[in-house]
A and B are shown apart, each in its own frame.
Chain A
Amino acid sequence: MAQKTIAGQTIEVNDEGYMVDASQWNREIAAELAKEDGIELTEKHYEVLEFLRKSNEKGETLTIRRVGKSGIVDIKGLYGLFPGGPLKFSSRFAGIPKPASCV
């Protein structure tokens, strides 16, 4: 567990950089986290992040396929928004735990 100051706020993050407390999240933090990975967030990105946060709140298991069926973006589009690891990156920017859909 470590603390990190970002967008003028102090947040708790785990060893892999995922926020520990989803309630500390806001859009500015997301923008800064994404910038660290060279991604500039657009409204489309935020729609995905909001979807992930809502699903996480409901305790749903998150998969790329599920996001692809959300109506916000298809799977190809999701890879376009978050290249290299769409769910890994987007969940980190969304301030939720790293999805481990298969245990």
Chain B
Amino acid sequence: MKKILILGGGTAGTMMGNKLYKALDHQEWEITIVDQHKTHYYQPGFLFIPFGIYNKSDVIKPKGDFFPSGVKVIYQEIDRVEGDHNKVLLMDGSTLNYDYLIIATGTQTRPDETPGLQGEQWYKSIFDFYTIEGAVALQQFFKTWEGGKLVLCIAELPFKCPVAPIEFVCLAEAYFTEKGIRDKVDITFVTPLAGAFTKPIATKMLSQLLEEKNINVVPDFYLESVDNEKKVLKSYDEQEIPFDVLTIVPVNMGSEMIERSGLGDDMNYVETDKETLQSKKFENIFVLGDAGNLPTSKAGSVAHFASEILFENMMNAFENRPLTAKFDGHANCYIETGYGKGALIDFNYDTEPLPGTFPLPGIGPFGLLRNTKINHYGKMIFRWIYWHILLRGKEMPIEAHMTMAGKKNSID
């Protein structure tokens, strides 16, 4: 029996487990998935919880529901990978051997990396929405909040789902308008980037959107610490921003297991070939999803597109062929903008998000870099697609590689 070991049973690991199990001869191959947690979170749904659009029950299911029945599952924390010996040590002292290893341990928020963030205001007036606990606590807080300064701050790059903070402030704007207290809420978006987003054309569109919604943008703000007593954010160059309620996107880092294994960079992301998805250190280790250091978004759509490339390359590796499938960094993100509308961006390593239509050139139905109702429905329907098609490793009617068809080089 040859052994494939998948570390992490989140979006990436689950998709890959399903794809491989379907394709491989079960007499010849044994697939094992290791994860320390039993609950699968639909993470794109966290964004909606603070505003009462979703509740906790809308975003959780048991991980076990999505693993194929013939795959071995071990719920245990991982100690480290010993790449030289093709084995993985678990925290309970047991050892797993592998012929091929897939690392899909994702990225974690690390509020402990910013001094003062987890002080006495943590979950009193400082919240994150990247964890179920933070999203639920913020929902409770907003229910009775009567207004003041709402500040969203991105602590560090890269972070998971680069559009989520923009969506958060847009949804907050709509939420407080509907509550009738928008005039009492001052919303500020604070980012270490030079603008609302990294790439020029999308930044232009999104900056206009935030301006229309009367949301302040503070660019080039690099967070050093949080003063709990005075309730101010402090940057390294000594700017200060006061807040009444702070929504933080904490520093993101890869799993500490990566650091213990000596496989990562200084943010614990696995050093990965951005095209083949093979680890740079070991030929039989592959990386999928947020765990890698690919220069593209940390997002489920990226893990999905990359999973098709990784599947091809693992098949190549099993049969000693060169790794001919090349990932292009394709990402596709719905941007919820409030009032039942949304925007959509589609891009890769080389092409920035451009306006146009998606997936069909000239037809759509989705509008790229446009704020439309149909894009919002796309985002809402996606939850069903996620649970029923995507996680189960079934085919989606969208190409893994980005296409220029339907895109234009400027905004009308």
Contacts and interface: CB of A to CB of B under 8 A. Distances in A.
Contacts of A64: 192, 222, 236
A2 interface: no
B157 A69 contact: no
Nearest to A100: B198
A78 B222 CA distance: 12
A75 interface: yes
B256 interface: no
A83 B239 CA distance: 12
Interface in B65-122: none
Interface string B319-345: 000000000010100000000000000
Interface string B262-299: 00011100000010000000000000000001011100
B53 interface: no
Contact of A66 (B159, B251, B266, B329): B266
Nearest to B220: A85
Interface string B44-77: 0000000000000000000000000000000000
A79 B237 CA distance: 6
Nearest to A15: B200
B162 A75 contact: no
B153 to A, nearest CB: 14
A5 interface: no
A17 B267 CA distance: 29
A78 B199 CA distance: 25
Interface string A75-103: 11011000111001000000000001111
B266 A88 contact: no
B192 A61 contact: no
Given A61-B293, A66-B266, A85-B220, A102 B198 contact: yes
A69 to B, nearest CB: 5
Interface string A38-69: 00000000000000000000011101111001
Contacts of B236: 64, 75-76, 78-79
Contacts of B241: none
Q: How large is the interface on A (under 10, 10 to 19, 20 to 34, 35 or more residues)?
A: 20 to 34
Q: How large is the interface on B (under 10, 10 to 19, 20 to 34, 35 or more residues)?
A: 20 to 34
Q: Which of A75, A78, A100 has the most CB of B within 10 A?
A: A100
B199 A103 contact: yes
Nearest to B296: A103
A65 B236 CA distance: 11
A83 B159 CA distance: 25
Contacts of A61: 158, 265, 293, 295
Given A102-B162, A103-B162, A103-B331, A65 B156 contact: yes
Contacts of A63: 156-158, 267
Q: Which of A64, A76, A84, A101 has the most CB of B within 10 A?
A: A101
A84 B237 contact: yes
B41 interface: no
A83 B236 CA distance: 10
A100 B156 contact: no
Interface string B204-225: 0000000000000000101010
A66 B157 CA distance: 10
Contacts of A60: 265, 293
Contacts of A65: 156, 251, 266-267
A75 B114 CA distance: 13
B266 A101 contact: no
Contacts of B295: 59, 61, 101, 103
B127 interface: no
A60 to B, nearest CB: 7
A33 B11 CA distance: 46
B193 interface: yes
Contacts of B331: 103
A102 B159 contact: yes
A76 B236 CA distance: 6
A76 B192 CA distance: 15
Interface in B151-178: 156-159, 162
Given A61-B295, A66-B266, A75-B222, A103 B192 contact: no
25 contacts: A60-B265, A61-B293, A63-B156, A63-B157, A64-B192, A64-B236, A65-B156, A66-B267, A75-B222, A75-B224, A76-B224, A76-B236, A79-B237, A84-B237, A85-B220, A88-B220, A100-B198, A101-B157, A101-B295, A102-B157, A102-B193, A103-B162, A103-B296, A103-B329, A103-B347
Interface of B: 156-159, 162, 192-194, 198-199, 220, 222, 224, 236-237, 251, 265-267, 274, 293, 295-297, 329, 331, 347
- What are the 4 A-B residue pairs with the smallest beta carbon separation, nearest first? A102-B157, A101-B157, A100-B198, A102-B158
